[in-house]
Structure 1
Amino acid sequence: MEENNKIYGFTITVYEISATIRSLWPTVTDFIEMHPEYIADDNAMEFISDNNGKSYNRCHFWSNFEIADMDFWRGEAYTAFFEHLDSKGGFYYERWGDAPVHSIAASLFLKRDQLHFFEEIGYQHDDWGHCPLSDGIWEKGRCSCSQKGSFDYDPSSCMPHWEKLMSI
């Protein structure tokens, strides 16, 4: 990741449960209006919003497997963002979890080419898993998961949003 200037990587992407984040997006948009200097050019807004930021489509990178440069989480933009969110009480009164908060921050504050989907890494957590679908990876004999069981194209997966973003 370091050699390729990647800051954040994931294996699964999924929709968040609406009831847990009712006031998250209005709080995010308030932050964006107050701090446009933190929004990266060529960011990944298209991954988290289907209408250029008017609403949140609930897509997030599942944080049970994430790899990130810790300097990003300790940086000025994320610190200001987290402090803004914390001041609004949503972590306590709702259930703003690390996955949507990390995903929104990474999507807004990083350039899209600094995000990385670990296609080549199989990962399973309870019923959800990512299994590499590329035959090239399988030909190397490095996989033992079930391609049929991969969550990537389940209706609850946001992988189509990710693929659309990366094709732009």
Structure 2
Amino acid sequence: MKTLLIPTDFTYQSLQSIPEIAQQYYPQKVNIMLVHMLKITDSISELLMLSRRSTEIRQIPDNFYIRCRDLEKDYSHLIERIHIDIFYGSTIAVFNNYLDAHEVDGIVPPHSNYQLLFKNSIDPEVLIDRCSIRVINIAETTGPMVDIITPENELVEQQ
């Protein structure tokens, strides 16, 4: 099973490419890690509170969780699990350790309208461009139709 990391700003655009990406690995299922990246603070009081992560987690809209669950259900033949996480760090060494710890096999670049959500959010491309994991380039799925294979091996057109 492959594990793929996708940078997320918790918008629908972060999820659009998941069916197409998962399809590339069919019949093998994939784990999808949706990750928002934040610089680690140098404030001692903020570091003491880091384990709570409540501020950032509360910013994730409920409909984002619902859409992830729906994708897992609708594409259960392609997707094993969708996991949402926040990465704290800003160096390539820490990022590579994170990728190794989660056994990430590939990274999908962020979508074209990716938003930095917090004052300490970082552009994921800064780390992705320098990491040791393969970057999976796919065409944007906003326009053309994409054929997805269903469990019964029937082609179904998806918008």
| TM-score, with length taken from structure 2 | 0.29
Hey, which of these two has a bigger chunk of helix by percent? 1
Q: TM-score, normalised by structure 1?
A: 0.28
Q: Higher strand proportion, which one?
A: 2
